[in-house]
Chain A
């Protein structure tokens, strides 16, 4: 059974979770209810502004994002996520020695080829 924990009784282990769950659900229900009951509500136009006492909003807040943005975002995700491999390597850098360095250079080299590709294909230009 995959609910089994090492040396733990299933039901007993669950009691804190259950208590936690009950408290969370109770609180999230109770607080808005209390607010509605006690707080009262007197809406005036300035109060309904998205940014009370702030600058006037210009245009719709649901502005459409240029499609170019997606391209940049995609490239960012791709190159950004690869750093998860650089961090562990940096931690054990000394122990891995020259072989580890060369392997990481190859890895970064392949990423570099990808960057050159994106560059030459014009993916990095906004216009």
Chain B
């Protein structure tokens, strides 16, 4: 006898708002005159704000036959994902008009990817996690190829797609193995099933394959090879959005799977995640040193940041889980901001991608250069910015465990951060001390929405750096959730 599952639609109200607005934008764009696309941007932003307001205050609950959960991690993860989605909408319109890429579907894809990240944060079931991961990834493949006539953008889209689908297949096989071993895909049932029986090879292989799938999305070494190419080829606003939203989705999912569901088996996976984190920090930072392209440098920088975040997941204590969410929130601001600075520039018909293009920016646009320097300082993790608070939280949690592994990871993290200061500050130095390009090849583009995005991200980075309590008091509920287990 089949009984229909209990469905509580009020629980998924934030996702319904975002997807409803996405559908509305898709339909409205069919009839709207092109010069009125501003309404689509406004509708997208309104939807994101409304969803964030609902998500921040929604009550906890479990529904959809136990596949969906709204708890502290859902709340924090969704608010951060919605912030990234809102910023992703803000940085796009001027750039899209400039290169004649302005179509309403862009915002539909951004909103859908945002909803995918939100659902990842709320997954209580591996199938749900897979569907959410695909809802996040597939729009990102299309966004990477958004510049249709541009061969580099097409290539970025195809690379991202082929490698992403490859990783998804591994992720799915991991689910199949875990389902075969335990007979369930619900995370809590998996926890109890694996606690009863000694974990077999197949369960271990299943968890390993899940890690590959999520590691690809988060661009962990050695699953990072796609990131520099895709970041270099894809249009700047799409990169600004995808670098942040994919990380939010992947790391919230890693928190759900590892510390929350498999916490009891921590001794079996901390070493693996710790080694991956160390590799990712080292490779990301060293490769970033050699880059002459601003986008590729930020791509390797984003790989390095994935390494720092993974230190938090591998540490897996309540303070570490809170620190991961704090890091994601701050990274959403500084990561989007660093790309948004590049969106404002143009070099003779193309993106201003060479680091020389930023020479003397301080003389021509003092505020833009100040914002750029601020994001770079924050990415390097220097006080008094949010980046410092984010790194401090992760490394402090790792040291707090008192284990050799935790100390080693924190040490590698600090050392690689010192290396990273060099390549970030090189760009900041060029902005302030470099000889400005006199030929007029590099042009500035200002737009109210882009300025708003820069203002919000810069303010958030400074605010989180000066008053970290404002962020950590919101994210610490994730640690409290973990400590209740």
Give chain A's interface residues, CB within 8 Å of chain B.
1-2, 92, 95-96, 99-100, 103, 110, 113, 116-117, 120-121
CB–CB B4/A120 < 8 A: no
* Residues of A contacting B4 in the complex (Cβ-Cβ under 8 angstroms): 92, 95-96, 99-100
| Chain B residue with Cβ nearest A110 | B23
Given contacts A92-B2, A95-B2, A95-B4, contact A2 B27 (CB under 8 A): no
* Residues of B contacting A103 in the complex (Cβ-Cβ under 8 angstroms): 7
Measured as residues with beta carbon below 8 angstroms from the partner, the interface class of chain B is 10 to 19
- Residue B180 at the chain A interface, CB threshold 8 Å: yes
17 contacts between A and B (CB under 8 A): A1-B200, A2-B180, A2-B181, A2-B200, A2-B201, A92-B2, A95-B4, A96-B4, A99-B4, A100-B4, A103-B7, A110-B23, A113-B23, A116-B30, A117-B30, A120-B30, A121-B30
Give chain B's interface residues, CB within 8 Å of chain A.
2, 4, 7, 23, 26-27, 30, 177, 180-181, 200-202
CB–CB B200/A113 < 8 A: no
Contact of A117 among B7, B27, B177, B180 (CB under 8 A): B27
* Residues of A contacting B201 in the complex (Cβ-Cβ under 8 angstroms): 1-2
Given contacts A1-B200, A2-B201, A113-B26, 9 further A-B contacts (CB under 8 A): A2-B181, A2-B200, A92-B4, A99-B7, A113-B23, A116-B27, A117-B27, A117-B30, A120-B30
| Chain B residue with Cβ nearest A88 | B2
| Chain A residue with Cβ nearest B4 | A96
CB–CB B202/A1 < 8 A: yes
* Residues of B contacting A96 in the complex (Cβ-Cβ under 8 angstroms): 4
Provide the bound-state CA to CA distance between A8 and B254, in Å: 36
In whole Å, how far is A101's beta carbon from the nearest beta carbon of chain B? 12
* Residues of B contacting A100 in the complex (Cβ-Cβ under 8 angstroms): 4
* Residues of B contacting A95 in the complex (Cβ-Cβ under 8 angstroms): 2, 4
* Residues of B contacting A110 in the complex (Cβ-Cβ under 8 angstroms): 23
In whole Å, how far is A27's beta carbon from the nearest beta carbon of chain B? 32
The 8 closest A-B pairs by CB, nearest first: A2-B202, A120-B30, A96-B4, A2-B180, A92-B2, A1-B200, A113-B23, A117-B26
Provide the bound-state CA to CA distance between A96 and B177, in Å: 32
* Residues of A contacting B23 in the complex (Cβ-Cβ under 8 angstroms): 110, 113
| Chain A residue with Cβ nearest B9 | A103
Contact of B27 among A92, A99, A113 (CB under 8 A): A113
* Residues of A contacting B200 in the complex (Cβ-Cβ under 8 angstroms): 1-2
Provide the bound-state CA to CA distance between A120 and B177, in Å: 44
Provide the bound-state CA to CA distance between A96 and B3, in Å: 8
* Residues of B contacting A92 in the complex (Cβ-Cβ under 8 angstroms): 2, 4
| Chain B residue with Cβ nearest A97 | B4
Provide the bound-state CA to CA distance between A120 and B30, in Å: 7
Provide the bound-state CA to CA distance between A117 and B7, in Å: 29
Provide the bound-state CA to CA distance between A100 and B7, in Å: 11
Provide the bound-state CA to CA distance between A120 and B105, in Å: 13
Provide the bound-state CA to CA distance between A1 and B23, in Å: 46
* Residues of A contacting B7 in the complex (Cβ-Cβ under 8 angstroms): 99, 103
In whole Å, how far is B339's beta carbon from the nearest beta carbon of chain A? 29
| Chain A residue with Cβ nearest B202 | A2
Provide the bound-state CA to CA distance between A85 and B10, in Å: 23
Provide the bound-state CA to CA distance between A92 and B3, in Å: 10
Provide the bound-state CA to CA distance between A46 and B202, in Å: 58
| Chain B residue with Cβ nearest A3 | B202
* Residues of B contacting A99 in the complex (Cβ-Cβ under 8 angstroms): 4, 7
Provide the bound-state CA to CA distance between A96 and B2, in Å: 10
* Residues of A contacting B2 in the complex (Cβ-Cβ under 8 angstroms): 92, 95
In whole Å, how far is B457's beta carbon from the nearest beta carbon of chain A? 33
* Residues of A contacting B177 in the complex (Cβ-Cβ under 8 angstroms): 2
* Residues of B contacting A2 in the complex (Cβ-Cβ under 8 angstroms): 177, 180-181, 200-202
Provide the bound-state CA to CA distance between A113 and B201, in Å: 46
Provide the bound-state CA to CA distance between A110 and B180, in Å: 34
Provide the bound-state CA to CA distance between A121 and B200, in Å: 52
Provide the bound-state CA to CA distance between A2 and B200, in Å: 8
In whole Å, how far is B335's beta carbon from the nearest beta carbon of chain A? 32
| Chain A residue with Cβ nearest B24 | A113
| Chain B residue with Cβ nearest A100 | B4
Provide the bound-state CA to CA distance between A95 and B3, in Å: 8
* Residues of B contacting A1 in the complex (Cβ-Cβ under 8 angstroms): 200-202
* Residues of B contacting A116 in the complex (Cβ-Cβ under 8 angstroms): 27, 30
* Residues of A contacting B180 in the complex (Cβ-Cβ under 8 angstroms): 2
Provide the bound-state CA to CA distance between A92 and B181, in Å: 30
Provide the bound-state CA to CA distance between A92 and B27, in Å: 32
Provide the bound-state CA to CA distance between A99 and B9, in Å: 12
| Chain A residue with Cβ nearest B181 | A2
Provide the bound-state CA to CA distance between A108 and B482, in Å: 40
In whole Å, how far is A122's beta carbon from the nearest beta carbon of chain B? 11
Provide the bound-state CA to CA distance between A113 and B108, in Å: 13
Provide the bound-state CA to CA distance between A95 and B2, in Å: 8
Provide the bound-state CA to CA distance between A100 and B23, in Å: 22
